[in-house]
Amino acid sequence: MHEQDLRHFLAAYRREHGDDMLVLNEAVPDGQDLAALVWQLAAKGRHPVLLAPEVWGVDVAVVTNLFASRERMGRMLGCAARDIHATYQAKSSNLLPPEELGSGPVLDEVAQGDAVNLARLPMLRHFETDRAAYITNAVIVAEDPASGRGNLSYHRSMRHSDSELATSLHSRGHLWRLQQAAKARGEALPVAMVIGAHPLFMLAAAARVPFGTDERQVAGGLFGAPLQCVRTPRHGLLVPAHAEYVLEGVIDPEAKVEEGPFGEFTGYSSHRSTNHLLRVHTVMHRKDAMLVDVVGGNSAEHLNLGRVPRESEMVTKLEERFPSVTAVHYPSSGTHFHAYVALKQARDGEARQVMLALLGWDPYLKTVIAVDDDVDITRDEEVLWALAAHFQPHRDILVIDGLPGSALDPSASASGTTSRMGLDATRGVKFEGVRATIAPASMERAAALLARLGVPS
């Protein structure tokens, strides 16, 4: 059972990779200070897990920045960072139905009805532009009443009252579809909100799967064993038995409440919201529960959590259709709106076809840059070099207008449409030129010399 326990994961990770976890040995005065620490460390090229035993105004320990490092995400999946896409797709495709347990740690303490008091629920304010303190890793669990299949999705949430949360379904995804169907029936949609669970459960909640695919089964695939669940007391929803907190309630079919602005992945504080009200009937949590936080804004953690499943899906689709594709990368600099694709182009026009496929498959993307397979697409400077050396605007650009985009895109039209662009920065079949290179042996000797001089790698 411990394999699906966040605390077991953190303890094991600290033993094996202690240099990749920073334990704060003094009280943190403000939630924004945690965000500031993440930004300061990132500026130095560091992305450790942060564990804060004490944060003023929050009565529990806080762990954050779990997903900020691709190397660490690879360790979660049991692979090297370069193998994340293939490993994630292989494991997440092995759907395993959840296992229902009679009890679990999340049922240690249960408050229902008038005993519910969300003023005691820990939340953090990451940015001074945020409307209030938020739950940033709220995974909402809902079930289709006809099939019983579950759905997991992330939704920012803030306290509206002692028994209500204001939340947004702005992604207009599968939860929106379930909520609209319930509204059409004149019913409130029963939901459970998971706040803090094993990282593999959190990765499953970010999966890109067709409607009707139960992400709890995806979590089972990532674990390599069925997700261990308990049922919530009132609505009987299956939730992780080892979660830190679970809130059970309903999304009101009619009520609208103020919510936002909130620091989103775009780097802007967004006020765009569906303004939904979640009425909380039950609060369940572990003894000595901790708050698992996801750093908001355009932090590496926020972007990685969303883009690794997206990249993995796109790589699989492209490799199935286009054998010439060698790599796909969504850079942090482009939030979720840019993608780089590398390929061994066998004939003219192939790069355009690949870019059109990506722009059509991923509704978030606005710009795709295609490069040759010898370009390291994990480095912005190499992609920009390829753009400078190979791209001719009159010949190598394609633009499509009037397509639906992300509701959070600050540059989208009032109706949410956007234009999309492909930039062909490949050399082309008849390109003339030989790239300047340094002999591998010289590079090895230079690296060895720098190491002897004590220059950090």
* 178-221 pLDDT, tens digit each: 999 999 999 999 999 999 999 999 999 999 898 989 999 999 99
Query: What is the pLDDT at residue 444?
Result: 93
Nearest to 67 by CA among 265, 358, 319: 265
2 — pLDDT class (breaks 50, 70, 90): low
Nearest to 269 by CA among 160, 405, 156, 121: 156
0.75 exceeded by pTM = yes
Question: CA torsion angle for 23, 24, 27, 28 (degrees, to 10)?
Answer: -110
Q: In a 10 Å sphere around its CB, with 0-12 CB exposed, 13-18 middle and 19+ buried, how is residue 277 labelled?
A: buried
Domain 82-297 CATH (choose: 3.40.50.12780, 2.40.110.10, 3.50.50.60, 2.30.110.10): 2.30.110.10
Query: What is the pLDDT at residue 425?
Result: 95
Domain chopping of the chain, boundaries: 82-297, 322-424
**pLDDT tens readout for residues 94-140:** 999 999 999 999 999 999 999 999 999 999 999 889 889 999 999 99
- Name residues whose C-beta falls within 8 Å of residue 258's C-beta, 6 or more positions apart in sequence: 131, 166, 275
Query: What is the pLDDT at residue 25?
Result: 87
Question: What are 44's two structure tokens?
Answer: 């130095």
443 — pLDDT class (breaks 50, 70, 90): very high
- 322-424 CATH fold: UbiD C-terminal domain-like (3.40.1670)
CA distance 367 to 377: 14
10 — pLDDT class (breaks 50, 70, 90): very high
Say whether pLDDT at 416 is over 80.
no
Query: What is the pLDDT at residue 412?
Result: 80
Query: What is the pLDDT at residue 262?
Result: 83
**pLDDT tens readout for residues 223-251:** 999 999 999 999 999 999 999 999 999 99
Query: What is the pLDDT at residue 208?
Result: 87
CA distance 314 to 325: 11
DSSP one-letter code for 375? S
